[in-house]
Amino acid sequence: MSKTVLKVFVVLLVVLGAYMWVGYAITEMTGGEKKASGIVEISPEGGEQIFWGKGRCFTCHSMGGQGSAVRCPNLGQFGEKFPLPIGARAVERAKERSEETGIDYSATDYLVESLAKPDAYIVDTFKNEMAIVYAPPISLNLKEIKAVVAYLQSQGGEVDIDTIEQPSEVAVQYYDRIAAASAAGGGDPGNGEEMFVDTCSDCHQLNGEGGEVGPDLSTIGDKGLKFITESILRPAKKITPGYETYVVVDAEGIKTIGLKSQETGAEVEITKATGEVVTINKSDIKEIEIDEGASVMPDDLTEALTVKDFQDVLAYMMMQKSEGEQQ
């Protein structure tokens, strides 16, 4: 082997070694190696696998002396600031949440809430920056989150699988949120609620609030994801009875399009998509008919939403179920 070839070979070895060392160093800085999660059991062991693997919780949280992340609270026993590990800490936090809300919280309730709605309780000196773990890019499903709760319980607390599997009224609302997000492909129902208020509430009611141009959506989740998706993407495909689009042409040829919101012996009221109500005397109507291929709901609604916003709205809609359909 010539000296030139030998030098090139040595340089390549050095570069490869440096590359591997940098990769190792970055992995150690973030707390450990990301492992494939696979199917997990609802147990401390399953939750540990998610915490240090798919969930990538270690990128923001350390567990006592394990890991080096400092962005979010250490979840183990660590220094004066964290004298109790999270399992024991959750008992104290549950008491605080009970006092703040007037609702009886268990330690399990607090842990579920901290994962499903992390901004509900912000630890002093830390920012509200925890990721939504059931939304992309993490996208943990309900079973995986239950497993993480069991793992956190095991850190100085009592592992109680029964309370995880049979949630209280506090926890079940978050389970519904997570299940809806998973069904919608990983949307964030919190952001979906904001999108609904901004985009949909002028026409649709939800739990007694909103407009009446379109159908009440308080139990729309009962109809399933496919129905909701098609109703947004192709609103004219299936019209809810009573919300057909009417086309009214008066004697002067003026056309009014909208819902027939009221009819008397002498008049017809048409509510336009804008919410404007037009009253037309029947004696002035030249023709009135239902437009089978039209919907008052805009058919280009998704152009005003990003893909993420659309997924978030779907997740929020999937949560709107009748009491008997709640998880």
Tens-digit pLDDT profile for residues 190-236: 889 998 998 888 889 998 999 888 889 999 988 888 888 888 888 87
Q: Which residue has the tokens 């793992």?
A: 151
Lowest mean pLDDT among 5-14, 80-89, 132-141: 5-14
- pLDDT at 27 exceeding the cut of 60: no
- pLDDT at 73 exceeding the cut of 90: yes
In this prediction, residue 19 carries a pLDDT of 45
Please state, for a pLDDT cut of 90, what percent of the chain lies above it: 49
CA distance 211 to 273: 11
- pLDDT at 187 exceeding the cut of 70: yes
In this prediction, residue 112 carries a pLDDT of 97
Q: Which residues, including other chains, have CB under 8 Å from residue 215's CB and lie 6 or more apart?
A: 204, 240, 242, 243
Question: Nearest CA to 239 among 290, 300, 303?
Answer: 290
Q: What is the token pair recorded at 217?
A: 């959506």
In this prediction, residue 306 carries a pLDDT of 83
In this prediction, residue 118 carries a pLDDT of 92
In this prediction, residue 50 carries a pLDDT of 96
CA separation, residue 244 to residues 13, 74, 128, 205, 255 (Å): 72, 57, 45, 17, 16
In this prediction, residue 324 carries a pLDDT of 54
Indicate the CATH number for domain 190-235+299-325.
Answer: 1.10.760
CA distance 241 to 258: 14
Q: CATH topology for 44-170? A: Cytochrome Bc1 Complex; Chain D, domain 2 (1.10.760)
Q: Which residues, including other chains, have CB under 8 Å from residue 7's CB and lie 6 or more apart?
A: none
CA distance 244 to 246: 6
CATH architecture of the domain covering 245-290: Roll (2.30)
- pLDDT at 34 exceeding the cut of 50: no
- pLDDT at 240 exceeding the cut of 90: no
- pLDDT mean over 22-47: 59
- pLDDT at 168 exceeding the cut of 50: yes
In this prediction, residue 9 carries a pLDDT of 53
In this prediction, residue 185 carries a pLDDT of 76
In this prediction, residue 311 carries a pLDDT of 85
In this prediction, residue 93 carries a pLDDT of 97
CA distance 61 to 130: 10
Q: Name the segment(s) of the chain with CATH classification 1.10.760.
A: 44-170, 190-235+299-325
Q: Name the segment(s) of the chain with CATH classification 2.30.30.100.
A: 245-290
